[in-house]
């Protein structure tokens, strides 16, 4: 798995590519939490190039969401491909997370929250 980090205004955009699984989830979680602890409280996870997510990967998303809620932050996910969306749906994450189709829609969520 590879990840790219960019900042657009006050929003940290994390783009994940490949597979998020037990082999790389701890590192991904550590990187995301490091950014949150350094003040990033608006986080956009772009999953448009993520091919696979395991339960360890789901945990990364859940931990980030919980940490952001504690600091009155916001997490928005976008670009979830159909197989991954099914995993999020089965796990119940679609009911508790903010999920939109495109990056543009996600950025609008942050504008409304400000």
Mean pLDDT of the region 73-85: 97
The residue range of the domain holding 87 is 2-113
Mean pLDDT of the region 28-44: 96
pLDDT in the model for residue 13: 98
Contact 20, 57 (CB under 8 A): yes
Question: pLDDT per residue over 42-68, tens digit each?
Answer: 999 999 999 999 999 999 999 999 999
What is the number of structural domains in the chain?
1
Three-class DSSP category at 62? helix
Percent of the chain whose predicted confidence (pLDDT) is above 70: 99
Q: How confident is the model at residue 112 (pLDDT cuts 50, 70, 90)?
A: confident
In this structure, what CATH number is given to the domain that contains residue 106? 3.30.750.24
Contacts of 17 (CB under 8 A, 6+ apart): 1, 2, 3, 4, 49, 50, 51
pTM: 0.94
């Amino acid at each position: 798995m590879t990840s790219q980090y960019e900042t657009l205004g006050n929003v940290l955009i994390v783009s994940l590519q490949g597979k998020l699984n037990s082999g790389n989830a701890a590192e991904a979680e550590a990187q995301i939490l490091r950014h949150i602890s350094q003040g990033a409280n608006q986080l956009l996870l772009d999953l448009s190039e993520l091919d696979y997510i395991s339960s360890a990967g789901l945990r990364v998303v859940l931990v980030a969401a919980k940490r952001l809620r504690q600091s009155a932050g916001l997490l928005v996910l976008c670009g979830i491909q159909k197989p991954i969306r099914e995993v999020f749906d089965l796990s119940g994450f679609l009911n508790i997370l903010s999920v939109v189709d495109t990056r543009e829609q996600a950025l609008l969520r942050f504008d409304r929250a400000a």
